[in-house]
Structure formats: structure tokens, C-alpha cells
Amino acid sequence: MTAIGIHVESLDDEVRRRWMPGKGSVPMAEYEAAWDEAVRVFGRNRVSTYLLVGLGEDPDELVAGARRLIERGVYPFVVPLRPMAGTLACRDGISAPPADLVRDVTERIAAMLRAAGMIGADQRAGCAACGACGALSAAGA
């Protein structure tokens, strides 16, 4: 194995508790410890995590969190929420985030990734390496 994904989906504790109660019960410090150990084992830019856009998080906080992940060597794979018909998200009135929000967040995070020399293709495995679900690869990250 040359890479690993440790997926948090959101860095916002309230969002995690609401939308993913299992993950929301895990303190962020435990994710941070796992990411740090994974970076130690696999190396910088060989560890990824999903960050979903559109669950109610503050976009600026999401970008700030992505910066912290990049600083620790973790590739934040940014993907817009795509709620499926009939799911709880749709029942609760959640829809896909506006394109301009996704574009803004993606472009800001892509710029940070490029500046750090981190691109998804270097992940070697998983979703970040493929890049098809998000727009980071189109933004050069």
C-alpha cells in the first residue's frame, strides 16, 4: 500500500454530529493523530481526506481547515454534496450546493495545493488520485 484515505467529510463538529453521528462522536484530535501517523508512514501527499461542500459548513472555515490539512501533508479532496432523491438530506430540504460556492471553495483550495506542490495524481490510490468526483484536478490540483 502506498497511500491511504482517512475520510472526515467535514471539519465542522456541528455538521459532523448532524450528518454523520458516528464520525461526529470521534474527536477531531483523533483524526489529527491518525493523519499525522499516516503521513509519517506513507509520506506527505500520500494521505487524503474527503471534504464535502454543502452540508452547512462555513466556506471560509472549510478553506481554513483545508489549509491546516495541507500544512500537515494531507490532501483535502473537495467534493460537492450530491444528495440522492429519497434520502434524509432531500427530505430535510438539502440540495446540491450552488455552483459558485463550489467553484470558490475549489479554486481557493486548489491554489493552496498547487503552492504546496500537492496534486491529486500523486496520491497513487483512491478517489483523490482519480479526481472524477471533484473539480480540483481541473483546477490543477
At residue 3, the pLDDT reads: 87
Asked whether the beta carbons of 48 and 75 are under 8 A apart, the reply is yes
* Cβ-Cβ contacts under 8 Å for 69 (sequence gap 6 or more): 35, 49, 75, 76
Asked whether the beta carbons of 136 and 77 are under 8 A apart, the reply is yes
CA distance 42 to 4: 8
Query: Mean pLDDT over residues 54-71, rounded?
Result: 96
Grid coordinates representing 71 are: 500544512
Q: Evaluate if residue 126 carries a pLDDT over 80.
A: no
Q: Comparing 12-21, 24-33, 76-85, which segment has the lowest mean pLDDT?
A: 76-85
The helix (H) or strand (E) run that includes residue 74 is: strand 74-80
Across the chain, mean pLDDT equals 86
Grid coordinates representing 68 are: 491546516
Q: What is the dihedral of CA 115, 121, 124, 125, to 10 degrees?
A: 110
At residue 29, the pLDDT reads: 97
Q: Where residue 106 falls among pLDDT bands split at 50, 70, 90? A: very high
Query: Mean pLDDT over residues 64-70, rounded?
Result: 98
What are the C-alpha distances in Å from 75 to residues 36, 42, 57, 112? Answer: 12, 12, 19, 10
At residue 120, the pLDDT reads: 76
pLDDT above 70: percentage of residues in the chain: 81
Residue with cell 450530491: 82
What is the second-level CATH architecture of the domain 4-139?
Alpha-Beta Barrel (3.20)
Q: Evaluate if residue 82 carries a pLDDT over 80.
A: yes
Q: Comparing 19-33, 57-71, 77-91, 105-119, which segment has the lowest mean pLDDT?
A: 77-91
Grid coordinates representing 1 are: 500500500
Q: Where residue 123 falls among pLDDT bands split at 50, 70, 90? A: low
